Structure 1
Amino acid sequence: MSAELHHPRPRVATSGARGGGALLLVAVLLIALNLRLGITSVGALLDRMEDDGLPTGVGALLTSLPVLCFAVVGATGMALARRVGVHRGLAVALLLLGLGLVVRVLDGPAVLVAGTFVACSGIAVANVLLPAVVKEHFPTRVGQVTGAYSAVLSLGAAFAAAASVPAADAGGGWQAGLVVWALVALVAFVAWLPWCRVRDAAQGRRGGGHLWRSPVAWAVTAVFGSQSVFAYVAMSWLPSIYADAGFSDASAALHLSVSILVGVPVYFIAPSLAIRLGAQGHLIAVLSTMVATSFVGLAVAPVAGSWLWAVLMGVGGAVFPVSLTMFALRTRTATDTAALSGMAQSVGYLGAAAGPFTVGLLSDATGSWTLPCLLLAGLAAIQVVVGYVAGRPVVIGEESGAVTA
């Protein structure tokens, strides 16, 4: 049996469980706020960057780099936790994020790519470790806390998509619209520091090897991977799809912001609903159908139904917090939660990495967004089927007994 992660609360928080819990929740939400700022800001400014001389190939690489980084670096999340602990691992993640956001605007395309890789490495580690923090510190409120941090994450993504262009205008160039988000990473780092003062009991602990032999774990991984394709295609290319349909850059970016914002209340509610339902298959099916409808709409009527497609995309994206919740629901211990999170995010993002890059290449090759959007709609249909396997009310390793999480 795997050893359970046990994270002792830092000494500064021992004077009151309630105060410590509130402060920890605030810190978790601040970390979540940072997890998409550096990505959607690039999508919002990509056309302007290319107008300023950024090669198209580099632009396509920037859209695929986040998921590639999440796949490669995310796989090291548990190794880092064993070495320095979950809490200090999150501090390292925030340092990498802030450093990368600053470095990537200092020079030309090579430095831009390198800095983006460093920033996304920080996000990748935080992505993997944050569900374990929720499982360990909020075991009776997994749905509420996962919903809260997913909603804050989504709000951050929407805000960066909407504010990056005005920030670039105010700062005299797209570089200002990218580097400003390093300040938010600094705030999160300072807020998280009190939780790094005690040696973490996660150090040296191992577990989760049985997950790789579980069909349910692989189904959770597949659902996470497919929803990642939709999310990063939207963040990378949705403004371009609308711009090519005739909308201004500001209006195209606004469509992305609206798409993300309308999903916020659903992101907040969906994890709690997923827990109440027991089995999550029907919920995943409904949300996936919305995504499929959105992509079909973008393929055949991007102007006439532009706002409807944006709304459906945003609401259907709630498969993301549902999959995060399943990391906890399908596992017994925080160790296994972190292990399933690492498996799903490394393998899932590896499969998703080709998504934005392939969509961009298909669009260039065909001269339109029709074929890429229809293929994405087909992937959403597959997600419906796999979702019923991932959503079975079992604990991985105890499937034969159908033990509910």
Structure 2
Amino acid sequence: MFGIVVRVSREQREQQPPGERILLDLPGNEEQTLLERESAALADSGAPTSARRYTALVGSALLLVGVALAAANMRPAVTSLASVLGDIRSSLGQTATWASLLTTVPTLCFGLAGIAAPFIARRIGLARGIGLALLVLSVGLTVRVVDGPTAVLAGTFLACGAIAICNVLVPVVVKESFPNRIGMATGVYTSVMAAGGALGSALTPRLAEATGGWRLPLATWALLALAALCVWSIAARHDKATPPAAAQATPDREGSLLRSPLAWVITLFFAMQALIAYVVMGWLPEVFIGAGLDIATAGLLLSVVMVVGVPMSLLTGPLIARSRTQSGWALGLGGLAAIGILGLLIAPLWAPLLWTLTLGTGMAVFPLALTLISLRTRSASETARLSAMAQSLGYLIAATGPFLFGVLHDITGDWDVSLLMILGVLTVQTVLGVIAGRPRYV
């Protein structure tokens, strides 16, 4: 069989979907040889070195398990805290303003720590970067239960800072190591994340009742972080034989993403969905308790919101990635979330399960946000840059949500104005999602 040389114009390359490249009909290992030559030519041509910045991890089944276990740790630190927030306030003698600050910590440090994630990956690699984050996460989850209110805040900040590193770097692993299965890998990642959040909110109150306190149940989640670290240490292996395929096929364009209107749309879309998600995870039990439900039932309803995200992420992840446009997904999921918020506002006890189901389904917009970061970029390095921009700036913006939600409740004495604020944010999110869903690149 003879090789066929195909010349591809820059315009043709830019029109290719992310994660794909024009393949050449070459026998044996000649395709690999050609890729190596192309990478060398890229280096010699003076092309941006950011295109060759990351070394891929070997995309094995065990790596996917490692990604899933890492994802399982990205919600319990928040949802477990929210489910016993009232008990923590009572035992430590803290005000609602302190609780508002505590619920703001996750999104605040997600934004601040997320800025450092690309630097950490460049310095020590994706494998060690995520492994270090899991280690710090286990330490933070332990620190926050050893003392008083300062330790709770400090430990939560440390744990959520570690989660922020994973938030930014795991989508890069998905892009690099599973380039032809981005939708599937994103679906697994986000569904397990939702399952971890559901377990955090459902099990922690019951463990608190069984042990007679909130400290031991919160500390228990450090064991999950250590388990993920053990699996990740075995599964995450850098592929030193070849440069990343995505970087070889499509070098980064020069220039800051801060000058890209689409990058800002995706960043603001990510910010709006994160703001809503962390308000729900931080305050939904308190909303139901204020309406008359007991703490165990309120925690269970939060777990329902998170559990719904498991099948939704598994089903929608691949479908979103295969869709020609993602605008319809943004519109439909936003509408479902609006039904849940309106139900909480008008009649929270009329059908609380229905409101949590529709709200949980609408929060499947998170895998849409992650998928857009991969679909709207040409290379893994560009994915990391957009992921860092969207998540660092997005979470900093989102950090205002949980705080304002609690402060508005303190000012008005009920949850109506707070829920109206979330309804307005949801409207902005939907509009931005429709714009970001149109197929093009940053």
Q: Which amino acid aligns with 1:166?
A: R
Equivalent pair of 1:82/1:206 in contact (CA under 8 Å):
no
Equivalent pair of 2:202/2:300 in contact (CA under 8 Å):
yes
In the TM superposition, what is the alpha-carbon distance from 1:386 to its structure 2 partner? 1.1
In the TM superposition, what is the alpha-carbon distance from 1:294 to its structure 2 partner? 1.5
Aligned to 2:144: 104
Deviations 1:189-227 (A, max 9, x none): 01111356659889xx99874322111111111111000
Question: Is 1:276 aligned to residue 316 of structure 2?
Answer: no
* Structure 2: distance between partners of 1:235 and 1:47: 14
Aligned to 1:53: 92
**Structure label with greater radius of gyration:** 2
Question: Is 1:127 aligned to residue 173 of structure 2?
Answer: no
Equivalent pair of 1:69/1:120 in contact (CA under 8 Å):
yes
**Structure 2: which 5+ residue stretches go unaligned?**
1-47, 245-250
Equivalent pair of 1:208/1:340 in contact (CA under 8 Å):
no
Aligned to 2:280: 234
* Structure 2: distance between partners of 1:209 and 1:318: 32
**CA RMSD in angstroms, aligned pairs only:** 1.9
Aligned to 2:71: 32
Aligned to 1:66: 106
Question: Is 1:359 aligned to residue 399 of structure 2?
Answer: no
Q: Secondary structure at the match of 2:60?
A: helix
User: Against the structure 1 CA distance between its residues 54 and 126, is the aligned structure 2 distance closer, same or farther, given a 3 Å change threshold?
Assistant: farther
Equivalent pair of 1:35/1:153 in contact (CA under 8 Å):
yes
Equivalent pair of 2:265/2:435 in contact (CA under 8 Å):
yes
Question: Is 1:291 aligned to residue 334 of structure 2?
Answer: no
Candidates 348, 352, 355, aligned match of 1:302: 348
Aligned to 1:217: 263
TM-score (normalised: structure 2): 0.84
Aligned to 2:248: none
Aligned to 2:16: none
* Structure 1: distance between partners of 2:133 and 2:347: 41
In the TM superposition, what is the alpha-carbon distance from 1:262 to its structure 2 partner? 1.7
* Structure 1: distance between partners of 2:92 and 2:430: 41
* Structure 1: distance between partners of 2:136 and 2:374: 26
68-77 vs 300-309, which deviates more? Answer: 300-309
Aligned to 1:175: 215
In the TM superposition, what is the alpha-carbon distance from 1:275 to its structure 2 partner? 1.7
How many corresponding residue pairs?
385
Deviations 1:163-188 (A, max 9, x none): 00112223331001210000000000
* Structure 2: distance between partners of 1:208 and 1:372: 42
Ranges of 4+ aligned residues in structure 1 off by more than 4 Å: 195-202, 205-209
Aligned to 1:145: 185
In the TM superposition, what is the alpha-carbon distance from 1:109 to its structure 2 partner? 0.6
Aligned to 2:40: none
* Structure 2: distance between partners of 1:100 and 1:355: 23
* Structure 1: distance between partners of 2:144 and 2:414: 31
Aligned to 2:291: 245
Question: Is 1:313 aligned to residue 352 of structure 2?
Answer: no
* Structure 1: distance between partners of 2:349 and 2:103: 24
Q: Secondary structure at the match of 2:195?
A: helix
Equivalent pair of 1:101/1:182 in contact (CA under 8 Å):
yes
Aligned to 2:120: 80
Aligned to 1:17: none
User: Against the structure 1 CA distance between its residues 139 and 238, is the aligned structure 2 distance closer, same or farther, given a 3 Å change threshold?
Assistant: same
User: Against the structure 1 CA distance between its residues 287 and 86, is the aligned structure 2 distance closer, same or farther, given a 3 Å change threshold?
Assistant: same
User: Against the structure 1 CA distance between its residues 363 and 184, is the aligned structure 2 distance closer, same or farther, given a 3 Å change threshold?
Assistant: same
Question: Is 1:161 aligned to residue 201 of structure 2?
Answer: yes
Q: Secondary structure at the match of 2:51?
A: coil
Aligned to 1:118: 158
Spell out the pairing of 1:321-332 with structure 2 (5 A cutoff).
Answer: 321-332=367-378
Q: Which amino acid aligns with 2:327?
A: G
Equivalent pair of 1:293/1:377 in contact (CA under 8 Å):
no
Deviations 1:337-361 (A, max 9, x none): 1111110001111110010010000
* Structure 2: distance between partners of 1:67 and 1:208: 30
Aligned to 2:129: 89
Percent identical pairs in the alignment equals: 44
